Amino acid sequence: MTDESASSTAAEPAPHTDGVELPQPTAAPLTTAVGLALASLGMAWGTPFIAAGGVLFFVGIGLWVGELLPGRGHLHEPLVAPEARPAKIAAPLGRVDRLREGSPGYRFRLPEKIHPISAGIKGGIVGGLLMPIPALAYGLLSGHGLWYTANLLTGLVLPGVGAMTEAQLEQFDPTLLIAATLIHVTVSLTVGLIYGVLLPTLPNIPKPLAWGGLLMPILWSSVSFFAMGLANPLLSRRVDWAWFVFSQFIFGVAAAWAVHVQRRRRPLAAGAVGGLVGGMLMPLPAMLWAMLTERTIWYPANLLAAIVYPEMRTLPQADLQAFRADWLLAAIAIHLAISISFGLVYGALLQRVRPISKAFAWGGLVLPLAWTGVSYGLMGIVNPVLQERVDWPWFIASQFVFGVIAAIVVDRSEMVYIAPAGRSEADGPTTEAPKNERPSS
């Protein structure tokens, strides 16, 4: 037994002391990858690509396997001369101060506390129960009935709904009701869970941006929608309210930024400047909408001028796309008056209002707007007919009802603390670090 082990040891080659054994460079992986790529392209471009890719693939596999055979696939890289080699580093022995809980530099997992999963579920359930109220109110006030909005909701997953007439959508259908309920419950619970996870991690929104860039445009859009609906329902139906709301947010953000920059000036002066800046940028989304819908850039301005020209309210759409100097001057005067008025009100009230809480700003304002934008874009791709039938101001109102309620429920739920990093249940109680010790970072 001893002789056999000695002979086997003698048969092993002595390790190289003047070099390093390294894998030999090979083109096998690249050849195999190119072969797979060409074969995949052949699914769309024809058989020749499949044949060429197959040949390259098997050639690459052959080269790769050959590199694994004994005595192949490695090369001997000699070392440099001893005098050119780096000197050994003698590390001095030292001591690292231990980080203790409560001492400066102690690392925590962030955020330090979060909402449990149950908080998001509760928020989704409560918000989902109250969210249909604006939708049902719209169905009753518009004369479509209670089932109209629920049947429209099923159009997100059932393509045949887009081909149904309004009379059919107003009828009760148990299949559509079950589908709408499943969609509503799924989306509500999903968004509620997102609220529970995101709200503790999001930063606070500055007061000027929260009031000017979020709340003020929402209030302006709501007042405009109901006032225009009472004064001129025909004109209200010609306005694309999704783009209208987007224009208000452009105004709000620009005005808030301008007032914040001018914060050292008097509030009314800063508000006037903010109104002018926001008013200059606000028409950009309106003109973009006009061009994307194959209308002239004068169409949004003429709709605004119809407020003071009653005879314009009965004109066909083609006439409202024409340029007229008196209409344009009236629209500019109305736009400047409203912009400066809102800027003055914003500048005067900003110093007196309280900051909007993080939960309400994000959960009740930002996230509902984001969900509305995603729904509008997806519905335009999946079912454009359904997108045209949705009354978007009421849709946005439903989103805000859900967002505010879910944010309140999540924000008022209990918080769960996350254990600091590096601690376990087996660790005993820690004491604060002595004042003369400085923890390392």
Co-location of 133 and 63 in the same domain: no
Q: Are residues 210 and 291 in the same domain?
A: yes
Q: Does residue 93 sit within a domain?
A: no
Asked if residue 424 is part of any domain, the answer here is no
- 232 & 317 share domain: yes
Does residue 342 belong to any structural domain of this protein?
yes
Is residue 177 located within the same domain as residue 283? yes
Boundary of a domain, candidates 68, 85, 102 = 68
Cβ atoms 162, 385 nearer than 8 A:
yes
Domain of 27, in residue numbers:
22-68
Q: Is residue 86 assigned to a domain? A: no
Q: What is the pLDDT of residue 439?
A: 41
* Tens of pLDDT, residues 353-374: 787 777 778 887 777 877 777 7
> For residue 99, is it within any domain?
no
- The pLDDT of residue 7 is 47
Q: Are residues 253 and 344 in the same domain?
A: yes
Q: Which amino acid is at 95?
A: R
Is 35 within a domain? yes
Domain boundary residue, one of 39, 68, 97: 68
Handedness of CA 159, 164, 169, 172 (dihedral sign): negative
Pairing mode, if any, of strands 416-417 and 19-23? unpaired
Binned at pLDDT 50, 70 and 90, residue 103 comes out as: low
Same domain, 184 and 309: yes
Domain count for the chain? 2
112-155 per-position pLDDT tens digit:
777 788 888 888 899 889 988 888 888 888 888 888 888 888 87
* Residue 431 maps to a domain: no
* pLDDT above 70 for 106: no
- Return d(Cα 191, Cα 121) in angstroms, integer: 9
Q: How far apart are CA 40 and CA 21, in angstroms?
A: 37
**Locus of tokens 């169409």:** 299
Q: What pTM value is reported for the model?
A: 0.54
Task: Give the tens place of pLDDT for each residue, 48-86.
Answer: 888 888 899 999 898 888 888 887 878 888 888 888 888
Is 186 a domain residue? yes
**Has residue 2 got a pLDDT over 60?**
no
Instruction: Give pLDDT tens digits for 209-260.
Output: 777 777 777 777 777 777 776 766 666 777 777 778 788 888 888 888 888 7
Q: How far is CA 422 from CA 101, 115, 133, 426, 437, in A?
A: 10, 22, 49, 11, 20
Whether pLDDT at 18 is above 80:
no
What's the CA gap between 213 and 46, in Å, rounded?
55
Q: Residue 316 and residue 299: Cα distance in Å, rounded?
A: 12
Tell whether 120 and 31 lie within a shared domain. Answer: no
Please check whether residues 152 and 239 belong to one and the same domain.
Answer: yes
